[in-house]
Structure 1
Amino acid sequence: MMTMNCTNCTIKSKTVTENMLISFTLAVITILTTLLNSAVILAICTNKKLHQPANYLICSLAVTDFLVAILVMPLSIAYIIMDTWTLGFIICELWLSVDMTCCTCSILHLCVIALDRYWAITDAIEYARKRTVKRAGIMILTVWTISVFISLPPLFWRNHYNTNIPTECIIKHDHVIYTIYSTCGAFYIPLTLILILYYRIYHAAKSLYQKRGSSRHLSNRSNDSQNSFAHCKLTQTFCVSDFSTSDPTMEFEKKNASVMTPPYDNDIDMFGDRQQQISSSRERKAARILGLILGAFMLSWLPFFIKELVVGLRLCTVSPEVADILTWLGYVNSLVNPLLYTSFNDEFKLAFKKLIRCKEHS
């Protein structure tokens, strides 16, 4: 999203060296964002194992971040380097609208992915039936619709009849109500929802791991052993089929997916202790992954939206340089998303390896 630059700042022109360094850094971010999101889209489109409703949400997120990389970032680089807008009013309007829509849409995608994972882990059996391509399509359409409604209002009060050639292209928060509406709708409400959902996902995953560990600690009685086996088999079936392809918190080794029965009674305690260690290890892994997801999201967008709110409410002003840094910090989230949402998934890793091999042989 473009920033609101302050009007009472002394503009200090950048040196050639500074411009080159800025151009190179931002260009690298843009190229990496384009390549990584393209790889995610290609991996999902070309690998049938990844044709899952949950992965379609990730693919849609990658498409959104790809649009940020090719439609928003290049013009932002040019604007920062030239210190003035030279592309006219219409291009400015289109760029600002695309910027707001795509960035908001990227954030809201993180919300629906968290919601999908929450339903998958808290209501696995029932949600397995509801988790369809149609449902994923409706979620994606809803996200884009909300994003358009958040970014659309400024088009109605901007000065469309100004014959002067604009020298700046920024979103001016002339309406305090819209500032609150847009920042809450685009970030603060989604942030609250994401925090609640991932908090519940972690505790549900922790409970699931503990139950799985205890269910494997088989008793000496054959009847109890059969019941434990049946419960564990049911739990494992849904974990492997539903969670492992879409939720990094549920990733675990397939060799542990089958129930191992200890051959002797005196091995049961040792077996139970080992399963408890595995459960604890998975809990820590889930906490680290969720921490990375939430940390990257908040570090990327929270500073920008704090600035947008305080500037929009006229509580303070910021320099254009600071505004640009905070804007690009938000853009970096489009670079981080494809890494966080695919790196912990073995099927994505295999798909990426296949893409690399295909390129090497072509």
Structure 2
Amino acid sequence: MDFPNCTEGVFATNCSVNDSLDTTKLPPSKILLTMTLSALAILTTFFNCLVITAIAVTRKLHHPANYLICSLAVTDLLVAVLVMPFSIMYIQKQTWLMGQVVCTIWLSVDITCCTCSILHLAAIAIDRYRAITDAVEYSRKRTGARAGAMVAVVWLLSILISLPPLIWRHYSGDSEQEDQCIMMHHHMAFTLYSTLGAFYIPLMLILILYYKIYRAAQTLYMRREASRASRHSCMTNGSMIPSSYPAGEGADDGGPPSPEPVSPREKSFSEPSTEEPPRERVRASVKAFQSKSRRKESRTESRNESRRSQFSQGPRISGSRERKAASTLGLIIGAFVVCWLPFFVKEVIANTCGSCSTSMEMADFLTWLGYLNSLINPLIYTIFNEDFKKAFQRLVRCSHYL
């Protein structure tokens, strides 16, 4: 423990003056850290506001599935506006200057909003799982009212998870802890209750559901590839059903059509003043018919080639979609685990092990690593959606919306 280099008596005033001068001068590393954290808070605010505005003004995005995305963006916006600024001031001053009432309010908002953000990710996983495994039935149940009910349940669970540790928060009687604002209790039950409800149970739920989503998507792709392969084999074996062609194309594949009589318009192409003999007119009509039949055959062959190439590229397209889906799920799960797992591991160790302790710098780093998830969420959950991309482009260009 470091002690201040001060003496009592007449030198006490000089010591306090020097301390005040030292505290007014921030080191460059502290200034750089403050600027970096402020930039993260501004970016988190900007991107979440962009998602909320895009959903609000774009009618194409007014879908029950996007209501959960919008609620997640609102929650992450609250983290950026109500939690991050106070944390930046706390890190900069290294002491809490706003009293214990404001400290309790800040901690309650911090824990509730972060828990709500995590539970939103679990709710989105549940929604996507039901949409892909029970698409027909769930499409009828997937209404705005049901999405609103899911959002209400998420907020209610977040409050129920964060309230008990706040109510039974341990206030230390040491004078060293009077100027600190930390969640500190030594009750094993509250530690397990808060960490399991806020992170570990949602983590297991997200991992299981996204694994099942990936398996279900893989099964759908395999079924589509099998259907494409069967249709391709039917085409190559010459057993395509004639009714599958549009009207007017059946004659092209069923053999050469019967010669058509020359229409009056085709007769008028030969001027009467030339006075062609009947034999020359017959040759001209035969040549016109042959060129017309060759054009029809070439068009039919090109259509068949395009169908064959489409069927042959089916497995490759579905494979690329499968890889894209796997990479998207990997980004979602990876970002969530990297941002929040270290923090909750530290929370379990610090509140259950009496002799274990972490430095203030490490605690702040792990806390802000969790806050970083509020910046990543609006990027991951919208950047792979073409409708959101177009809405963002229109927002940035300040254009009109449909």
Question: By the TM > 0.5 criterion, same fold?
Answer: yes
CA contact (8 A) 1:343 1:349 kept: yes
> What's the CA shift for 1:317?
1.3
Instruction: State which drifts further: 111-120 or 201-210.
Output: 201-210
Native 8 Å contact 1:111 1:193 kept in 2? yes
User: Counterpart amino acid of 1:183?
Assistant: T
Indicate whether 1:314 and 2:353 are aligned. Answer: yes
Residues 118, 198 of structure 1: 8 Å contact kept: yes
Match of 2:7 in 1: none
Change (3 A) 1:268 1:52: closer
Q: 1:210 to 1:155 in 2, by over 3 A?
A: same
- TM-score, structure 2 as length reference: 0.74
Query: What does residue 127 of structure 1 align with?
Result: 138
Structure-2 residue corresponding to 1:69: 80
Q: Which residue of 1 is the match for residue 189 of structure 2?
A: 177
| Counterpart among 35, 50, 53 of residue 64 in structure 2 | 53
Contact 2:161-2:197 at 8 Å conserved across structures:
yes
* Among 367, 388, 393, the residue aligned to 1:327: 367
Note the C-alpha offset of 1:202.
0.8
CA shift for structure 1 position 135:
0.7
Structure 2 gaps of 5+ residues are 5-22, 245-301
Deviations 1:229-250 (A, max 9, x none): xxxxxxxxxxxxxxxxxxxxxx
Larger Rg: 2
Structure 1 residue 150 and structure 2 residue 135: aligned? Answer: no
| Separation in 1, partners of 2:309, 2:189 | 63
CA distance in 2, matches of 1:17, 1:10: 22
> Within 2, Cα distance between the matches of 1:110 and 1:92?
27
1:189 and 2:229 matched: no
Q: Secondary structure at the match of 2:69?
A: helix
Correspondence for 2:89: 78
TM-aligned CA distance change 1:11 to 1:214, over 3 Å: farther
Superposed displacement of residue 155, structure 1 = 3.2
Q: Go from structure 1 to structure 2 and tell me whether the alpha carbon gap of 1:224 and 1:290 turns closer, same or farther (over 3 Å shift).
A: farther
Match of 1:282 in 2: 321
Structure 2 letter corresponding to 1:74: P
- Structure 1 vs Structure 2 CA RMSD: 2.6
Contact 1:107 1:187 in 2 (8 A): yes
1:22 aligns with: 33
Distance in 2 (CA, whole Å) between partners of 1:127 and 1:11 is 65
What CA distance in whole angstroms lies between the structure 1 residues aligned with 2:150 and 2:196? 20
Matched, 1:272 2:305: no
Aligned to 1:299: 338
Post-superposition offset of 1:311:
1.0
- The amino acid that maps onto 2:46 is L
Cα gap change, 1:295 to 1:159, in 2 (>3 Å) = closer
What is the correspondence of 1:339-358 to structure 2 with a 5 Å cutoff? 339-358=379-398
Question: CA–CA distance in 1 between the matches of 2:310 and 2:62?
Answer: 37
Which amino acid in structure 2 is aligned with residue 167 of structure 1?
D
Bigger mean CA deviation after superposition, 208-217 or 321-330? 208-217
Distance 2:188 2:242 in 1: 64
Structure 1 residue 291 displacement after superposition: 0.6
Q: Is contact 2:171–2:184 with CA below 8 Å preserved after alignment?
A: no
**Counterpart residue type for residue 111 of structure 1:** A
- Partner Cα separation in structure 2 for residue 225 and residue 155 of structure 1: 71
Partner of 1:338: 378
The Cα of 1:204 is off from its aligned counterpart by: 1.0
Higher relative contact order (CA 8 A, sep 6+): 1
CA 1:97/1:273 → structure 2, altered by over 3 Å: closer, same or farther? same
| Distance in structure 1 (CA, Å) of the matches to 2:189 and 2:399 | 51
Alignment of 1:199 with 2:211, yes or no, is: yes
- Aligned mates of 1:114, 1:11 — CA distance in 2: 51
The aligned amino acid for 2:208 is I
Q: Aligned equivalents of 2:242 and 2:226: distance in 1?
A: 12
* One-letter amino acid matched to 2:226: S
SS at match of 1:153: helix
1:32 aligns with 2:43: yes
Partners in 2 of 1:19 and 1:359 — Cα distance? 41
Please give the alpha-carbon distance, in whole angstroms, between the structure 2 residues aligned to 1:161 and 1:327. Answer: 22
Q: Residues 224 and 161 of structure 1: is their aligned pair in 2 closer, same or farther, counting only changes over 3 Å?
A: farther
CA contact (8 A) 1:214 1:272 kept: no
- The structural deviation recorded for 1:269 is 6.0
What CA distance in whole angstroms lies between the structure 2 residues aligned with 1:40 and 1:197? 25
Residue 229 of structure 1 aligns with which residue?
Answer: none
Give the drift of 1:11.
9.5
Contact 2:76 2:117 in 1 (8 A): yes
- Offset of 1:213 from its aligned partner? 2.6
Decide whether aligned partners of structure 1 residues 336 and 322 sit closer, same or farther in structure 2, where only a CA change above 3 A counts.
Answer: same
The SS at the match of 1:299 is helix
Matches of 1:161 and 1:181, distance apart in 2: 21
Please report how far the alpha carbon of residue 223 of structure 1 lies from its aligned counterpart in structure 2 after TM superposition.
Answer: 5.8
Aligned partner letter, 2:148: G
d(CA) in 1 for partners of 2:87, 2:128: 34
Tell me the SS of whatever aligns to 1:342.
helix
| Cross-structure match for 2:294 | none
SS in 1 for 2:180: coil
Distance apart, 1:161 and its partner CA = 12
Shift of 1:210: 2.0
1:137 counterpart = 2:176: no
- Would you say the 8 A contact 1:213–1:279 is kept in 2? yes
Cα gap change, 1:76 to 1:222, in 2 (>3 Å) = same
Q: Distance in 1 between matches of 2:242 and 2:195?
A: 55
CA displacement at 1:211 relative to structure 2: 1.8
